[in-house]
């Protein structure tokens, strides 16, 4: 039994339970993201795509305990000091961000946000980034990009928070930052070498639908858990979250049918995620009716962005910027339009509730500040890593598939091994990859093709 200090704030069992459940729900979003992204890539990259989601969470959780949480949430003018490094003094008593839950619960909840934010970026650079580079970038980016940004927006002395910007659950901190970093990474690492030379189609659409459903479910913890209490604001955030996702799902189907005559499963799943992204900064500040508008506009914005990207030379493979960046930008700005104190007294009355154009301007400034910080620091991080090791796979390894070249594994086995039993595997445009050494009583399967 833990005996609380009589002078400490009273811990609420209900609030604590809700935040702990929400932590688990956000954690569930990681396998959801792995399925969502994993189904969209070719079979030869499925395992690597799964690994990038799970590895981001694992690596960043370690970083979070050591220094990340302290840098993000401890006091400091620009970034938090290291008073909470190693979770020192982060205990079971209430902390500075909630009087009714243990400080440890808050730190654990925020750890999940840090982990999944970097995992989102992986969708832009699948099928060609070296896995070790990805791991190094995860630690560097979370330390010098995510932690300062989280401090500015959410910490008690953050300068963006001081401006009056509203970000209930991570519109700027998570989605605008991940979308911006994904676009920069896609540009710097370059296009897949067989882009526009062969069909790059999803290898498992049911995976993507299932992943979208898990994300939708987990997002309840992501948004409603950000109330840090089992109260009316959390209930409102839950309703606005599922409402915006449903509206975006419907809007995307309508757009698909209007444009091509058919509603696509991948499109509808993407629409639901775009709606979830758009409502994230607003979930605890707007009404359910406003969530309908935010979800629909988020879907339309992402849909248009994907069409524009497909006509460009940018290989943001899974449209991370279009889905997370664009929907996140729209959601952040629309928070300034629809926010009302009738939902959350700690928020503000926006354009519709009070004719408050200034809140819209503050929200837009927060978005611009986020992008202006994230883009160059991400570029510098990648450049620094490239001076030590190449960022992407060599040509033969990229053609044979990142699963085999980076993990020595296949997602699917077809029972044939003739291609690897001889002198090598012919891949791509006449490139010969040396055959692996045979192992006793075991034949290596042929590389999968998409």
Write out pLDDT tens, residues 223-238. 999 999 999 999 999 9
Does the pLDDT value for residue 417 go beyond 50?
no
Instruction: Please tell me what DSSP assigns to residue 85.
Output: G
Q: What is the structure's pLDDT at 9?
A: 60
Identify which of 142, 119, 98, 92 has the alpha carbon closest to the alpha carbon of residue 32. 119
Residues 6+ apart with CB under 8 A from 82: 67, 70, 71, 74
Q: What is the structure's pLDDT at 418?
A: 38
Q: What is the structure's pLDDT at 424?
A: 42
**Which structure tokens are listed for 391?**
């960022």
Contact 227, 334 (CB under 8 A): no
- Angle in degrees, 0-180, between the axes of helices 357-386 and 327-338, rounded to the nearest 10: 160
The mean per-residue pLDDT over the stretch 366-376 comes to 98
Residues 273-302 pLDDT 10s: 999 999 999 999 999 999 999 999 999 999
**What sign results for the dihedral spanned by CA atoms 120, 34, 395, 307?**
negative
Q: What is the structure's pLDDT at 200?
A: 79
- If one compares 366 and 5, the residue with the highest pLDDT of the two is 366
The mean per-residue pLDDT over the stretch 78-99 comes to 96
Alpha-carbon distance 335 to 357, whole Å? 12
Q: Which of 53-57, 121-125, 389-393, 409-413 has the lowest mean pLDDT?
A: 409-413
Q: 395: buried, middle or exposed (CB in 10 Å: 19+, 13-18, 0-12)?
A: middle
Does the pLDDT value for residue 446 go beyond 70?
no
Contact 353, 166 (CB under 8 A): no
3-state secondary structure of 100: strand
Does the pLDDT value for residue 441 go beyond 50?
no
Q: Residue with structure tokens 């729209």? A: 330
Alpha-carbon distance 388 to 178, whole Å? 24
- Give the residue extent of every domain in the chain: 13-386
The CATH number of 13-386 is which of 1.10.3430.10, 2.40.128.640, 3.90.950.10, 3.40.50.2300? 1.10.3430.10
Contact 175, 119 (CB under 8 A): no
Determine if residue 75 is left, alpha or beta; phi over 0 gives left, psi from -120 to 50 gives alpha, anything else beta.
beta
Alpha-carbon distance 436 to 316, whole Å? 32
The mean per-residue pLDDT over the stretch 79-88 comes to 97
């Amino acid at each position: 039994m833990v005996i609380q200090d009589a002078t400490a704030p009273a811990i609420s069992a209900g609030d604590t339970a809700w935040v702990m459940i929400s932590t688990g729900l956000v954690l569930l979003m990681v396998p959801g993201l792995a399925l969502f992204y994993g189904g969209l890539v070719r079979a030869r990259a499925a395992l690597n795509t799964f690994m990038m989601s799970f590895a981001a969470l694992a690596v960043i959780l370690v970083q979070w305990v050591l220094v990340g949480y302290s840098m993000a949430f401890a006091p400091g003018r620009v970034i938090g000091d290291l008073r909470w490094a190693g979770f020192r003094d982060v205990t079971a008593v209430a902390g500075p961000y909630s009087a009714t839950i243990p400080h440890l619960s808050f730190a654990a909840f925020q750890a999940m946000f840090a982990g999944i934010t970097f995992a989102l970026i992986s969708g832009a650079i699948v099928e060609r980034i070296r896995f070790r580079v990805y791991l190094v970038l995860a630690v560097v980016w979370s330390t010098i990009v995510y932690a300062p940004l989280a401090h500015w927006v959410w910490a008690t002395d953050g300068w963006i928070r001081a401006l009056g910007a509203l970000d209930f659950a991570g519109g700027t901190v998570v989605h605008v930052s991940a979308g911006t970093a994904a676009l920069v990474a896609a540009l710097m690492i370059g296009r897949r070498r067989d882009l526009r030379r062969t069909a790059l189609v999803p290898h498992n659409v049911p995976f993507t639908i299932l992943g979208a459903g898990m994300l939708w479910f987990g997002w309840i913890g992501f948004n409603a858990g950000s109330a840090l209490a089992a109260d009316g604001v959390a209930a409102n955030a839950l309703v606005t979250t599922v409402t915006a996702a449903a509206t975006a799902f419907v809007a995307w189907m309508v757009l698909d049918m209007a444009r091509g005559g058919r509603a696509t499963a991948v499109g509808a799943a993407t629409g639901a995620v775009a709606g979830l992204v758009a409502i994230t900064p607003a979930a605890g500040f707007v009404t359910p009716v406003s969530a309908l508008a935010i979800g629909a506009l988020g879907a339309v914005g992402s849909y248009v962005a994907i069409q524009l990207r497909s006509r460009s030379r940018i290989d943001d493979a899974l449209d991370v910027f279009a889905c997370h960046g664009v929907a996140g930008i729209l959601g952040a700005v629309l928070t300034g339009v629809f926010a009302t104190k009738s939902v959350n007294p700690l928020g503000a009355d926006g354009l519709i509730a009070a004719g408050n154009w200034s809140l819209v301007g503050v929200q837009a400034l927060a978005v611009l500040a986020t992008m202006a910080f994230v883009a160059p620091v991400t570029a510098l991080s990648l450049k620094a890593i490239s001076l030590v090791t190449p960022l992407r796979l060599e040509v033969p390894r990229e053609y044979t598939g990142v699963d085999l070249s980076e993990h020595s594994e296949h997602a699917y086995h077809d029972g044939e091994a003739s291609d690897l039993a001889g002198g090598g595997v012919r891949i791509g445009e006449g490139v010969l990859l040396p055959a692996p050494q045979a192992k006793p009583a075991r034949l290596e399967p042929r590389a999968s093709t998409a």
